[in-house]
Structure formats: C-alpha cells, structure tokens
Structure 1
C-alpha cells in the first residue's frame, strides 16, 4: 500500500503541493490528472525520491510500481 501523508513542497517561496494525502491499496490503479502547473510532476519526483518534501511523508513498500510518463520525450541523433 502506498501512503502519502501531509506532503508539502515549496520552491522559490511558492507552495507547489500543500498537505497532500493519498492512500493507494494493493492492486489499485490511480491516474493523477490536473492543469499545467498543478504539481503533478513534482508529486512524482517526491514519490521517486528525486525531491525532498518540506513536510510530510511517503510510505512506499518494496515491490510497489510507479510509472511516470515524461512531458517531453528526448530523442538521440545517434
């Protein structure tokens, strides 16, 4: 089970995410949808450990799978 508790992220004095709470049960699939600048990518960066939150916690058990499709796809000319 993935559990997000009171997760908050601030950058440049602006709160990108504030007090986010979410529980995802085993076998459950969830889509995160929102407008540009809503904090979707920042949330995934927190889940993947690429960013550290200002407060709150993420409990992500072993074996849990997270998929993230980047907004921009980079292609190599090689």
Structure 2
C-alpha cells in the first residue's frame, strides 16, 4: 500500500535513542536541564501518535537526515 510521509526536523538537542519510544507515552517529557520555556504536560506526542494510528499511520522520531543536531519526526499515512 502506498504511503505519504512528512518529516519535520528541528535544531534542538535531539531525543536520545533510549527515549525515542518513551516520549510517546502520556505525561513523559524529555527536556534539557535549565530549560525555562513554559511547562510541558507530556501529552502532545501521545495525542499526535494516537491520531496518526487512528488513520492507519505511524509517527516516529529519528535523527536528522543531514546529521546535524536535532530531532526529526516522521509521519507516514496511507496515500488517498
């Protein structure tokens, strides 16, 4: 079955390999020490993955394709 993928990368600290599945758990958050940008509930990625799965899709975190620091989220959905 053909799929369509959307990748979004950032230039933050990335997500350690050991945390890449855990960050999709409700109320789990990985933040660098000293980060002062608001408060985080740890629900956003859990909700996003649930929505992707409801549409027979997937949402995963990988390393950036260009090798630079940061994370890459990849959403894959069935093609229409």
Q: When the two structures are superposed, what TM-score results if normalisation uses the length of structure 1?
A: 0.27
Q: When the two structures are superposed, what TM-score results if normalisation uses the length of structure 2?
A: 0.27
Higher strand share: 1
Larger relative CO (CA 8 A, sep 6+): 1 or 2? Answer: 2
